Amino acid sequence: MSNAVEEFNAYRSKMNDKILADNNKIIKRIFNLDTNAFTAGALDVKTKELLGLVASTVLRCDDCVKYHLESCYKEGLTKEEVMETLSIATLIGGTIVIPHLRRAYEYWETLETTQG
């Protein structure tokens, strides 16, 4: 049975496939970098995912937030760590971040409920 996480991922995959099939070199390389940037390096994957989460949140990109929330969840980051990251985002980015915080919180709940 479908849920918000699966719907988001299905749309994301479908459109990414179409865009990449188009063979625009710049876009393909950016997508590629996006994968590489979050692999372990001087910083571990968990820290990098929190960096991706806080940056997405202050830039108020709901889809980017969802993407990083799922990665955080899969990496085993706790709700407390995620909430502390979101609280820093709300302080730095201001109260205009709050609507995104609400949606992020709801998405995290869905991850906890559905991703086992």
Positions touching a second copy (CB under 8 A) are 11-12, 15-16, 18-19, 22, 24-27, 29-31, 33-34, 36-38, 41-43, 47-48, 50-52, 54-56, 58-64, 78-81, 83-99, 101-103, 105-106, 109
Q: How far apart are CA 14 and CA 113, in angstroms?
A: 24
Q: How far apart are CA 30 and CA 42, in angstroms?
A: 21
Q: Which is nearer to a second copy, 5 or 85 (CB)?
A: 85
Q: Which is nearer to a second copy, 2 or 95 (CB)?
A: 95
Least gap, CB of 104 to a second copy (angstroms): 10
Least gap, CB of 53 to a second copy (angstroms): 9
Half-sphere exposure of 45 (CA within 13 A, CB side): 12
Q: At what angle do helices 45-58 and 98-114 cross, to 10 degrees?
A: 140
